[in-house]
Structure 1
Amino acid sequence: MELRVQQGSVTELETPMLVVNLFEGVSEPGGATGAVDAALGGQIRRLIADGEITGEAASVSVIHNPGNNGLKARRVAVVGLGKQAEFEPENVRVAAALAARKARDLNLDSFATIVHGAGTGGLDLDTAARCTMEASILALYRYDQFKEATKPKHQVGSMIVVEQDAGRASRLQELADLARITCDAVMKVRDLSVGPGNYVTPTYLAEQARAVAQQYGLDITVWGKDELREHGMNAILAVNQGSIQPPAFVAIKYTAPGARKTLAVVGKGITFDSGGISIKPAERMEF
């Protein structure tokens, strides 16, 4: 999904769906939600009074715009942020994810959102924006390359983050670039993690690592069985005796300009583990 930032008024943005938010217990919304409510002639306040919009965490309500008012969005989704006293970044992630999935459920090609939690929520702009952006993208992740396509599955093409203030909008664009990088990396790892063991083999894992290293100009070393034996890495070789697939040890190195510290991140890289299947009772092996 494409991620863009647009400076301007929430009421003037033309979009299939505009996402705003509400804390639980609030009867008179303010900020961007209040501006949208005013453009809708108080419709959000009326639905709050009727109990249809509650602001509870993990809630989302969609209002269809009749088009005879000052709002250009065709729909408004009000996501709940929960109780303000219990508010934390995870509430933003849940709300943003629900909104993105609602857009997909409605077969929308795009939608727009404000940043959740940076106003009365008390979060700094960077935290609120990254939570909003990353959760929206990651919520739409699917791993279905081995599923038979009975009918095409809808994909949301783009999301716009709208911000009135020019300075904040400029910072949001920088954060959007970071969020895109983060989400691309997370989804790549998800593909490797959830891929079936007969497909994501050590050889495949090494091939993917080489592709990433080549794409981003990283140094990479891949050792096979001979190199592992030469360097005395017998634990890996011992575990590998239970598989017909050859092992692969992968080391990727990135040297940042002006770096003063060295950081090593170590992962097991196990693509399939049969040990647990052998020693655990079958009746407790639910997925």
Structure 2
Amino acid sequence: MSKESNVLVTGAAGQLGRLVIDALLQTVPAERVHALVRNAKAAQGLASLGVKAHIGDYDAPRTLDAAFGGIDRVLLISSNDLGGRVAQHGNVIDAAKRAGVGLLAYTSLLHADTSTLGLAREHVQTENLLRESGVPFVVLRNGWYTENYAATIPASIEHGVMLGSAGSGRISAAARADYAAAAAVVLSNADVKPGRIYELAGDQAFTLAQFAAEVARQAKKAVEYRNLPEAEFKAALVQAGLPDPVAVLLSDSDRGASEGGLFDERGELKKLIGRPTRPFAETIASAIEATIAGAGR
């Protein structure tokens, strides 16, 4: 990537997207960083950083064309519209092709091509679209975010139990910021060549029993991991107020984790970002601190 190259991050107002923007700004001039967001409020927040924000939508190809002009490298952050993602991703890929983008990076799922997780299906379909498009691309097959489990910490501490259906499966999760750093490297490093598939995962694998034990140790309260059959875990998630599609996704992902679907020990993420990934104990500590701070308000 030359000093004059422009990079665009889609979904830039989301949790991962904003972290990618922050990581890019450490090495790329702000005027070369572009962000695709859905509304003016999000655009204003990013513009305050000196980033060029574009309002656009995966479902509206004309808005994508307006944003992609003059862009050299794009990060396509996968949509959260389960069931509708392939068409949306196709719109982004088509826009990148029309704009002559030099490299498109896509956030897929760890071992997507062999994964038994239902979540993998749309990622594989999107990867196939990329291959067929003729657009130069790389695939960032992200493992699980440690924050996905850290989000359950307040309830786990309150009830003394962490529910799941991952059994003794080892989960090579990493912090969201680690995956963001990897995306920033791919967007900004000229040595990254098209055609590469990165299997990205954390350095330190854990079982959910180990995760719960670390929560208990740091919170100084009893927290046990209770393994449930997939259907029972899904029912518990629905009872807790989660929408049915989200409950299906989480329970199925735990089932896949029990079969090794979220485990990887090749260390590609660490190699790509040039440092170890964040230990899960540190993510737990941050979540507990936030819980305590929130309770004190």
If the length of structure 2 is used for normalisation, what is the TM-score?
Answer: 0.31
More helix by share: 2
If the length of structure 1 is used for normalisation, what is the TM-score?
Answer: 0.31
The structure that has the greater radius of gyration is: 1
